[in-house]
Copies of this chain bind each other. A is one copy, B any other.
Protein backbone atom coordinates (compact mmCIF):
# COMPACT_ATOMS: atom_id res chain seq x y z
CA UNK A 1 0.00 0.00 0.00
CA UNK A 2 1.23 3.46 -0.92
CA UNK A 3 1.36 5.77 2.09
CA UNK A 4 -1.77 7.86 2.37
CA UNK A 5 -1.28 11.41 3.66
CA UNK A 6 -3.19 12.57 6.72
CA UNK A 7 -6.57 14.07 6.01
CA UNK A 8 -6.17 17.81 6.00
CA UNK A 9 -8.85 19.54 3.95
CA UNK A 10 -8.40 23.25 3.35
CA UNK A 11 -10.83 25.58 5.09
CA UNK A 12 -12.58 26.77 1.96
CA UNK A 13 -15.18 29.49 1.98
CA UNK A 14 -18.02 27.62 0.26
CA UNK A 15 -20.11 30.06 -1.79
CA UNK A 16 -21.14 27.76 -4.62
CA UNK A 17 -24.43 25.93 -5.12
CA UNK A 18 -23.68 23.72 -2.12
CA UNK A 19 -22.31 22.38 0.11
CA UNK A 20 -22.15 25.64 2.05
CA UNK A 21 -19.62 26.35 4.79
CA UNK A 22 -20.27 24.15 7.83
CA UNK A 23 -19.89 25.90 11.21
CA UNK A 24 -17.58 24.41 13.81
CA UNK A 25 -20.48 23.53 16.13
CA UNK A 26 -21.87 21.16 13.51
CA UNK A 27 -18.45 19.68 12.67
CA UNK A 28 -18.08 18.92 16.36
CA UNK A 29 -21.52 17.32 16.54
CA UNK A 30 -20.86 15.03 13.58
CA UNK A 31 -17.76 13.67 15.37
CA UNK A 32 -19.58 12.71 18.57
CA UNK A 33 -19.43 9.04 19.64
CA UNK A 34 -21.56 6.80 17.42
CA UNK A 35 -24.58 5.24 19.11
CA UNK A 36 -26.54 2.22 17.89
CA UNK A 37 -29.53 3.05 15.68
CA UNK A 38 -31.92 1.44 18.17
CA UNK A 39 -30.29 2.95 21.27
CA UNK A 40 -32.94 4.83 23.29
CA UNK A 41 -30.64 7.86 23.43
CA UNK A 42 -30.28 7.89 19.66
CA UNK A 43 -34.04 7.46 19.16
CA UNK A 44 -34.53 10.53 21.34
CA UNK A 45 -32.06 12.51 19.20
CA UNK A 46 -33.82 11.31 16.07
CA UNK A 47 -37.26 12.27 17.42
CA UNK A 48 -35.95 15.72 18.35
CA UNK A 49 -34.51 16.05 14.86
CA UNK A 50 -37.83 15.14 13.23
CA UNK A 51 -39.67 17.56 15.51
CA UNK A 52 -37.29 20.39 14.61
CA UNK A 53 -37.65 19.50 10.93
CA UNK A 54 -41.41 19.98 11.31
CA UNK A 55 -40.80 23.42 12.81
CA UNK A 56 -38.43 24.42 10.03
CA UNK A 57 -40.78 23.07 7.35
CA UNK A 58 -43.67 24.80 9.21
CA UNK A 59 -45.75 21.67 9.18
CA UNK A 60 -47.65 19.40 11.51
CA UNK A 61 -47.04 16.45 9.17
CA UNK A 62 -46.26 13.41 11.31
CA UNK A 63 -44.41 11.84 8.38
CA UNK A 64 -41.42 14.20 8.42
CA UNK A 65 -37.95 12.68 8.58
CA UNK A 66 -34.48 12.67 6.99
CA UNK A 67 -34.05 10.18 4.13
CA UNK A 68 -30.70 8.36 4.40
CA UNK A 69 -29.20 9.82 1.24
CA UNK A 70 -28.51 13.21 -0.31
CA UNK A 71 -31.11 15.60 -1.80
CA UNK A 72 -31.56 13.56 -4.96
CA UNK A 73 -32.50 10.53 -2.83
CA UNK A 74 -35.21 12.73 -1.31
CA UNK A 75 -36.51 13.57 -4.79
CA UNK A 76 -36.59 9.88 -5.62
CA UNK A 77 -38.31 9.02 -2.32
CA UNK A 78 -41.10 11.48 -3.06
CA UNK A 79 -41.47 10.25 -6.63
CA UNK A 80 -41.42 6.48 -6.11
CA UNK A 81 -43.80 6.59 -3.16
CA UNK A 82 -46.37 8.91 -4.77
CA UNK A 83 -46.28 7.64 -8.35
CA UNK A 84 -47.53 4.28 -9.59
CA UNK A 85 -46.88 2.88 -13.05
CA UNK A 86 -49.38 4.38 -15.48
CA UNK A 87 -50.08 7.51 -13.41
CA UNK A 88 -50.24 10.76 -15.31
CA UNK A 89 -48.34 13.65 -13.74
CA UNK A 90 -47.39 17.21 -14.65
CA UNK A 91 -43.79 18.35 -14.10
CA UNK A 92 -42.80 22.02 -14.37
CA UNK A 93 -39.40 22.38 -16.03
CA UNK A 94 -37.36 25.58 -16.01
CA UNK A 95 -33.91 24.17 -15.28
CA UNK A 96 -31.89 21.05 -14.49
CA UNK A 97 -33.84 19.93 -11.45
CA UNK A 98 -37.28 20.03 -13.06
CA UNK A 99 -35.75 17.89 -15.81
CA UNK A 100 -34.45 15.43 -13.25
CA UNK A 101 -37.85 15.24 -11.63
CA UNK A 102 -39.31 14.27 -15.02
CA UNK A 103 -36.63 11.60 -15.47
CA UNK A 104 -37.36 10.22 -11.99
CA UNK A 105 -41.11 10.17 -12.66
CA UNK A 106 -40.63 8.32 -15.94
CA UNK A 107 -38.38 5.74 -14.27
CA UNK A 108 -41.24 5.19 -11.81
CA UNK A 109 -43.56 4.44 -14.70
CA UNK A 110 -45.43 7.74 -14.91
CA UNK A 111 -46.64 9.41 -18.09
CA UNK A 112 -45.19 12.89 -17.70
CA UNK A 113 -46.74 16.02 -19.16
CA UNK A 114 -43.92 18.55 -19.12
CA UNK A 115 -44.84 22.19 -18.62
CA UNK A 116 -41.87 24.21 -19.77
CA UNK A 117 -40.76 27.83 -19.68
CA UNK A 118 -37.31 29.14 -20.64
CA UNK A 119 -34.54 28.61 -18.08
CA UNK A 120 -34.44 31.44 -15.55
CA UNK A 121 -38.19 32.10 -15.77
CA UNK A 122 -40.88 30.82 -13.40
CA UNK A 123 -44.48 29.64 -13.68
CA UNK A 124 -47.60 31.74 -13.17
CA UNK A 125 -50.77 30.45 -11.48
CA UNK A 126 -52.52 30.88 -14.84
CA UNK A 127 -50.04 28.64 -16.65
CA UNK A 128 -50.40 25.98 -14.02
CA UNK A 129 -54.20 26.21 -13.97
CA UNK A 130 -54.23 25.81 -17.76
CA UNK A 131 -52.00 22.73 -17.58
CA UNK A 132 -54.22 21.20 -14.92
CA UNK A 133 -57.25 21.79 -17.09
CA UNK A 134 -55.49 20.31 -20.12
CA UNK A 135 -54.55 17.11 -18.30
CA UNK A 136 -57.61 16.12 -16.27
CA UNK A 137 -56.22 12.66 -15.47
CA UNK A 138 -53.02 13.97 -13.89
CA UNK A 139 -52.68 13.01 -10.24
CA UNK A 140 -49.73 15.13 -9.14
CA UNK A 141 -47.80 18.24 -10.10
CA UNK A 142 -44.09 18.53 -9.38
CA UNK A 143 -42.39 21.91 -9.20
CA UNK A 144 -39.06 23.32 -8.02
CA UNK A 145 -39.24 26.05 -5.39
CA UNK A 146 -35.60 27.05 -5.75
CA UNK A 147 -34.08 26.04 -9.11
CA UNK A 148 -30.41 25.66 -8.19
CA UNK A 149 -29.35 25.58 -11.84
CA UNK A 150 -30.76 29.03 -12.69
CA UNK A 151 -31.32 30.79 -9.36
CA UNK A 152 -35.02 31.25 -10.16
CA UNK A 153 -37.42 31.62 -7.24
CA UNK A 154 -40.83 30.05 -7.84
CA UNK A 155 -43.82 31.51 -5.99
CA UNK A 156 -45.80 28.57 -4.60
CA UNK A 157 -48.74 30.40 -3.06
CA UNK A 158 -52.12 29.65 -4.60
CA UNK A 159 -50.97 26.49 -6.36
CA UNK A 160 -52.40 24.02 -3.84
CA UNK A 161 -55.91 25.46 -4.28
CA UNK A 162 -55.76 24.87 -8.03
CA UNK A 163 -54.37 21.36 -7.61
CA UNK A 164 -56.51 20.18 -4.71
CA UNK A 165 -59.65 21.32 -6.54
CA UNK A 166 -58.57 18.96 -9.33
CA UNK A 167 -57.82 16.17 -6.80
CA UNK A 168 -54.10 16.51 -7.51
CA UNK A 169 -51.12 16.52 -5.17
CA UNK A 170 -48.43 19.22 -4.99
CA UNK A 171 -44.83 17.92 -4.77
CA UNK A 172 -42.06 20.47 -4.20
CA UNK A 173 -38.27 20.50 -4.54
CA UNK A 174 -37.02 22.73 -1.72
CA UNK A 175 -33.38 21.67 -1.77
CA UNK A 176 -32.02 25.21 -1.97
CA UNK A 177 -34.77 27.02 -0.05
CA UNK A 178 -35.28 25.18 3.27
CA UNK A 179 -33.76 27.33 6.00
CA UNK A 180 -33.04 30.28 3.70
CA UNK A 181 -36.37 31.22 2.13
CA UNK A 182 -39.91 31.39 3.40
CA UNK A 183 -41.35 27.87 3.01
CA UNK A 184 -44.69 27.13 4.64
CA UNK A 185 -45.55 23.53 3.94
CA UNK A 186 -48.94 23.48 5.68
CA UNK A 187 -50.08 27.03 4.85
CA UNK A 188 -49.16 26.52 1.20
CA UNK A 189 -50.83 23.12 1.00
CA UNK A 190 -47.70 21.23 -0.06
CA UNK A 191 -48.27 17.47 -0.08
CA UNK A 192 -44.70 16.26 -0.44
CA UNK A 193 -41.43 18.12 -0.12
CA UNK A 194 -37.75 17.24 -0.06
CA UNK A 195 -34.60 19.16 0.69
CA UNK A 196 -30.89 18.69 1.38
CA UNK A 197 -28.81 19.30 4.47
CA UNK A 198 -25.83 20.91 2.72
CA UNK A 199 -27.52 24.11 1.56
CA UNK A 200 -29.20 26.63 3.86
CA UNK A 201 -29.07 24.28 6.86
CA UNK A 202 -25.25 24.55 6.71
CA UNK A 203 -24.77 20.87 7.46
CA UNK A 204 -22.57 18.42 5.54
CA UNK A 205 -24.33 16.59 2.70
CA UNK A 206 -25.74 13.11 3.36
CA UNK A 207 -29.39 13.43 4.40
CA UNK A 208 -32.54 14.60 2.68
CA UNK A 209 -35.32 15.91 4.92
CA UNK A 210 -38.75 15.01 3.52
CA UNK A 211 -42.32 15.62 4.63
CA UNK A 212 -45.62 14.10 3.45
CA UNK A 213 -49.12 15.50 4.08
CA UNK A 214 -52.08 13.35 5.18
CA UNK A 215 -53.35 13.68 1.57
CA UNK A 216 -50.07 12.18 0.32
CA UNK A 217 -50.29 9.37 2.87
CA UNK A 218 -53.79 8.60 1.62
CA UNK A 219 -52.43 8.19 -1.91
CA UNK A 220 -49.59 5.98 -0.66
CA UNK A 221 -51.95 3.85 1.44
CA UNK A 222 -54.12 3.26 -1.64
CA UNK A 223 -51.23 1.97 -3.78
CA UNK A 224 -51.92 -1.15 -5.79
CA UNK A 225 -48.23 -1.92 -6.44
CA UNK A 226 -45.19 -2.10 -4.16
CA UNK A 227 -42.90 0.92 -4.16
CA UNK A 228 -40.14 0.05 -6.63
CA UNK A 229 -37.40 1.06 -4.16
CA UNK A 230 -37.08 -1.00 -1.01
CA UNK A 231 -34.61 1.49 0.50
CA UNK A 232 -36.98 4.43 0.02
CA UNK A 233 -40.31 2.66 0.68
CA UNK A 234 -42.13 4.94 3.12
CA UNK A 235 -44.56 2.17 4.12
CA UNK A 236 -41.53 0.38 5.62
CA UNK A 237 -39.61 3.47 6.76
CA UNK A 238 -42.49 4.84 8.82
CA UNK A 239 -42.24 1.86 11.20
CA UNK A 240 -38.78 3.11 12.12
CA UNK A 241 -39.24 6.87 12.00
CA UNK A 242 -42.78 7.01 13.44
CA UNK A 243 -42.69 3.74 15.34
CA UNK A 244 -43.11 5.09 18.87
CA UNK A 245 -41.52 2.86 21.51
CA UNK A 246 -41.19 -0.29 19.39
CA UNK A 247 -39.02 0.78 16.46
CA UNK A 248 -38.77 -1.71 13.64
CA UNK A 249 -35.32 -2.03 12.13
CA UNK A 250 -35.32 -1.14 8.44
CA UNK A 251 -31.79 0.01 7.63
CA UNK A 252 -28.97 1.36 9.77
CA UNK A 253 -29.51 5.11 9.79
CA UNK A 254 -26.50 7.41 9.27
CA UNK A 255 -26.20 8.17 13.00
CA UNK A 256 -23.47 10.82 12.89
CA UNK A 257 -25.15 12.66 10.02
CA UNK A 258 -28.28 12.85 12.18
CA UNK A 259 -26.18 14.36 14.98
CA UNK A 260 -25.06 17.02 12.52
CA UNK A 261 -28.57 17.70 11.27
CA UNK A 262 -29.88 17.95 14.84
CA UNK A 263 -27.23 20.56 15.64
CA UNK A 264 -27.92 22.41 12.37
CA UNK A 265 -31.65 22.60 13.09
CA UNK A 266 -30.96 23.76 16.65
CA UNK A 267 -28.92 26.63 15.20
CA UNK A 268 -31.69 27.49 12.71
CA UNK A 269 -34.30 27.65 15.48
CA UNK A 270 -32.01 29.61 17.78
CA UNK A 271 -31.69 32.25 15.08
CA UNK A 272 -35.43 32.02 14.37
CA UNK A 273 -36.93 31.22 10.98
CA UNK A 274 -38.06 34.76 10.21
CA UNK A 275 -34.73 36.27 11.23
CA UNK A 276 -32.92 33.71 9.16
CA UNK A 277 -34.94 34.42 6.03
CA UNK A 278 -34.51 38.17 6.62
CA UNK A 279 -30.75 37.69 6.89
CA UNK A 280 -30.64 35.72 3.63
CA UNK A 281 -32.68 38.46 1.94
CA UNK A 282 -30.46 41.23 3.30
CA UNK A 283 -27.25 39.45 2.30
CA UNK A 284 -28.67 38.76 -1.17
CA UNK A 285 -29.38 42.46 -1.68
CA UNK A 286 -25.88 43.34 -0.48
CA UNK A 287 -24.27 40.80 -2.82
CA UNK A 288 -26.51 41.80 -5.70
CA UNK A 289 -25.54 45.46 -5.34
CA UNK A 290 -21.89 44.51 -5.32
CA UNK A 291 -22.09 42.19 -8.31
CA UNK A 292 -24.06 44.71 -10.34
CA UNK A 293 -21.48 47.39 -9.52
CA UNK A 294 -18.92 45.01 -11.04
CA UNK A 295 -21.09 44.88 -14.17
CA UNK A 296 -22.42 41.37 -13.62
CA UNK A 297 -26.04 40.73 -14.60
CA UNK A 298 -28.47 38.39 -12.88
CA UNK A 299 -29.97 35.75 -15.17
CA UNK A 300 -33.31 34.83 -13.53
CA UNK A 301 -36.35 37.08 -13.55
CA UNK A 302 -36.98 36.53 -9.85
CA UNK A 303 -33.73 35.63 -8.11
CA UNK A 304 -33.43 33.44 -5.09
CA UNK A 305 -31.65 34.96 -2.11
CA UNK A 306 -29.75 31.77 -1.59
CA UNK A 307 -28.40 31.15 -5.10
CA UNK A 308 -27.26 34.04 -7.25
CA UNK A 309 -26.84 33.17 -10.91
CA UNK A 310 -25.09 35.80 -13.04
CA UNK A 311 -23.93 35.89 -16.66
CA UNK A 312 -20.22 35.62 -17.32
CA UNK A 313 -19.09 38.72 -19.25
CA UNK A 314 -18.04 38.19 -22.86
CA UNK A 315 -14.45 37.19 -23.35
CA UNK A 316 -13.98 35.87 -19.81
CA UNK A 317 -12.91 32.26 -19.24
CA UNK A 318 -15.30 31.49 -16.41
CA UNK A 319 -13.54 28.30 -15.32
CA UNK A 320 -10.20 30.13 -15.05
CA UNK A 321 -11.75 32.71 -12.72
CA UNK A 322 -13.27 29.99 -10.55
CA UNK A 323 -9.94 28.20 -10.45
CA UNK A 324 -8.21 31.39 -9.39
CA UNK A 325 -10.79 32.08 -6.68
CA UNK A 326 -10.22 28.57 -5.37
CA UNK A 327 -6.44 28.45 -5.51
CA UNK A 328 -5.54 32.05 -4.64
CA UNK A 329 -8.40 32.86 -2.29
CA UNK A 330 -9.76 29.51 -1.05
CA UNK A 331 -13.23 30.54 -2.18
CA UNK A 332 -15.54 28.19 -4.05
CA UNK A 333 -18.27 29.45 -6.37
CA UNK A 334 -20.15 27.37 -8.93
CA UNK A 335 -20.15 27.32 -12.73
CA UNK A 336 -23.21 27.08 -14.93
CA UNK A 337 -25.12 23.81 -15.22
CA UNK A 338 -26.80 22.35 -18.30
CA UNK A 339 -27.39 24.96 -21.02
CA UNK A 340 -25.69 27.57 -18.80
CA UNK A 341 -22.38 25.66 -18.68
CA UNK A 342 -19.55 28.08 -19.44
CA UNK A 343 -21.96 31.03 -19.42
CA UNK A 344 -22.91 31.55 -15.79
CA UNK A 345 -21.55 31.71 -12.29
CA UNK A 346 -23.63 30.45 -9.42
CA UNK A 347 -22.91 32.11 -6.09
CA UNK A 348 -24.45 30.60 -3.02
CA UNK A 349 -25.49 32.61 0.01
CA UNK A 350 -26.60 29.82 2.26
CA UNK A 351 -26.67 29.39 5.99
CA UNK A 352 -23.34 30.09 7.64
CA UNK A 353 -21.89 31.40 4.35
CA UNK A 354 -24.41 34.22 4.11
CA UNK A 355 -22.60 36.94 6.04
CA UNK A 356 -21.46 40.48 5.37
CA UNK A 357 -17.83 39.48 5.86
CA UNK A 358 -18.01 36.67 3.33
CA UNK A 359 -19.74 38.86 0.76
CA UNK A 360 -17.06 41.53 1.05
CA UNK A 361 -14.35 38.90 0.84
CA UNK A 362 -15.88 37.37 -2.26
CA UNK A 363 -16.61 40.66 -4.03
CA UNK A 364 -13.10 41.95 -3.54
CA UNK A 365 -11.64 38.65 -4.75
CA UNK A 366 -13.84 38.63 -7.86
CA UNK A 367 -12.88 42.23 -8.56
CA UNK A 368 -9.17 41.36 -8.35
CA UNK A 369 -9.61 38.31 -10.61
CA UNK A 370 -11.58 40.23 -13.23
CA UNK A 371 -9.01 43.08 -13.28
CA UNK A 372 -6.13 40.72 -13.85
CA UNK A 373 -7.82 38.82 -16.67
> Which A residues fall within an 8 A CB radius of B?
1, 4, 7-12, 14, 16, 18-19, 21-22, 27-37, 39-42, 45, 48, 52, 55, 68-73, 75-76, 100, 103-104, 106-108, 196, 198, 204-206, 226-231, 249-257, 259-260, 262-263, 266, 269, 326, 332, 337
Cα A72 to Cα B68 in complex, Å, equals 10
Given A7-B259, A256-B206, does the pair A337, B249 have CB atoms closer than 8 Å? yes
Cα A259 to Cα B107 in complex, Å, equals 32
Cα A28 to Cα B36 in complex, Å, equals 19
Given A12-B39, A30-B30, A206-B257, does the pair A19, B252 have CB atoms closer than 8 Å? yes
Q: List the B side residues contacting A31 at CB < 8 Å.
A: 27-28, 30-31
Cα A31 to Cα B30 in complex, Å, equals 6
9 residue pairs from A and B, CB less than 8 Å apart: A9-B42, A14-B36, A27-B33, A68-B69, A68-B70, A107-B228, A108-B228, A204-B255, A205-B253
The answer to whether B69 and A34 have CB atoms under 8 Å apart is no
Q: List the B side residues contacting A227 at CB < 8 Å.
A: 107
Q: List the B side residues contacting A337 at CB < 8 Å.
A: 249
Cα A45 to Cα B5 in complex, Å, equals 10
Cα A302 to Cα B76 in complex, Å, equals 40
Q: Which 9 A-B pairs have the closest CB atoms?
A: A31-B31, A206-B254, A72-B251, A204-B256, A27-B31, A205-B252, A22-B34, A1-B269, A69-B69
The answer to whether B32 and A71 have CB atoms under 8 Å apart is no
Q: List the B side residues contacting A260 at CB < 8 Å.
A: 256
The answer to whether A252 and B7 have CB atoms under 8 Å apart is no
Cα A259 to Cα B257 in complex, Å, equals 13
Cα A198 to Cα B106 in complex, Å, equals 34
Given A73-B69, A196-B252, does the pair A22, B11 have CB atoms closer than 8 Å? no
Q: List the B side residues contacting A266 at CB < 8 Å.
A: 4
Q: List the B side residues contacting A204 at CB < 8 Å.
A: 34, 254-257
The answer to whether A251 and B71 have CB atoms under 8 Å apart is yes
The answer to whether A39 and B326 have CB atoms under 8 Å apart is yes
Cα A299 to Cα B108 in complex, Å, equals 41
Q: List the B side residues contacting A28 at CB < 8 Å.
A: 31
Q: Which residue from chain B places its CB closest to the CB of A327 in the assembled complex? A: B40
Q: List the B side residues contacting A255 at CB < 8 Å.
A: 19, 204-205
Contact of A230 among B30, B52, B104, B252 (CB under 8 A): B104
